[in-house]
Structure 1
Amino acid sequence: MKILAGWKRSLMMLAVCAAGAVSLGAHAEDELAKVKQAGELVVGTEMQFAPFDFLENGQQAGFNKDLFAEVGKELGVKVRFIDLPWPSVLPGLEAGKFDMVGGPLTMTKARAERYAFSLPIADATDALLKRANDASLKTSADISGKVVGAGKSSAQLDQLKTYIATLPKPPEVREYVDNNQAYADLAAGRISAVANSLTNIAYVAKQRPDTFAVVQPAFGAKVYFAYCLRKDADSKPLLDAFNAALVKLNKDGRLAALQKKWFGTAMDVPTTEPTLNY
Structure 2
Amino acid sequence: MTLTKSLKAALLGLTALSLAGPAVADQLADVKAAGKIVTATDMHYAPFDMIIDGVYQGMTKDLFDGVTAELGVEPVYQDIPWTAELPGLEVGKFDIVIAPVTITSERLERYTFTIPIADATVSLIKPVNSDLVKPEDIKGKTVGVQQGTAQFKQLSAFGDSLGGVNVKEYGTNDEAFADLAAGRLDAVAASMPNATTLVKARPEHFALFEPAQFGDPTYFAWVLRPGDDSASLGDAINEALLKMTDDGRVKEIQEKWLGAYTELPREVPKN
Q: Cα 1:4–1:80, aligned 2, differ >3 Å: closer, same or farther?
A: closer
1:107 to 103, 110, 116: 103
Amino acid at match of 1:100: I
Superposition TM-score, scaled by structure 2 size: 0.94
Give yes or no for contact 1:121–1:224 (8 Å, CA) kept in 2.
Answer: yes
4+ runs deviating over 3 angstroms: 1-10
Q: Which residue of 1 aligns with 2:173?
A: 179
The Cα offsets for residues 44-87 of structure 1, whole Å up to 9 and x where unpaired, read as: 01011110001111221110111111111100111111111110
Q: Cα 1:256–1:16, aligned 2, differ >3 Å: closer, same or farther?
A: same
Q: Which residue of 1 aligns with 2:189?
A: 195
Cα displacement (A) at 1:230: 0.2
Determine what percentage of the aligned residue pairs are the same residue.
43
Amino acid at match of 1:185: D
1:254-269 maps to which residues of 2 (within 5 A)? Answer: 254-269=249-264
1:116-265 maps to which residues of 2 (within 5 A)? Answer: 116-135=112-131, 137-168=132-163, 170-217=164-211, 218-265=213-260
Give yes or no for contact 1:44–1:103 (8 Å, CA) kept in 2.
Answer: yes
Aligned length: 269
Q: Distance in 2 between matches of 1:2 and 1:259?
A: 69
Q: Distance in 1 between matches of 2:3 and 2:37?
A: 54
Q: Cα 1:35–1:166, aligned 2, differ >3 Å: closer, same or farther?
A: same
Give yes or no for contact 1:43–1:81 (8 Å, CA) kept in 2.
Answer: yes
Q: Cα 1:249–1:163, aligned 2, differ >3 Å: closer, same or farther?
A: same
The Cα offsets for residues 225-255 of structure 1, whole Å up to 9 and x where unpaired, read as: 1111000111111101000001101111111
1:18-167 maps to which residues of 2 (within 5 A)? Answer: 21=21, 24-25=23-24, 27=25, 29=26, 31-135=27-131, 137-167=132-162
Show structure 1 runs of 5+ residues with no match.
none
Give yes or no for contact 2:181–2:205 (8 Å, CA) kept in 1.
Answer: yes
Q: Distance in 1 between matches of 2:185 and 2:48?
A: 24
Q: Which residue of 1 aligns with 2:14?
A: 13
Give yes or no for contact 2:116–2:220 (8 Å, CA) kept in 1.
Answer: yes
Cα displacement (A) at 1:166: 1.1
Q: Cα 1:78–1:2, aligned 2, differ >3 Å: closer, same or farther?
A: closer
Give yes or no for contact 1:123–1:225 (8 Å, CA) kept in 2.
Answer: yes
Amino acid at match of 2:176: A
Q: Distance in 2 between matches of 1:118 and 1:57?
A: 30
Amino acid at match of 1:76: G
Give yes or no for contact 2:156–2:165 (8 Å, CA) kept in 1.
Answer: no
Give yes or no for contact 2:105–2:270 (8 Å, CA) kept in 1.
Answer: no
Show structure 2 runs of 5+ residues with no match.
none
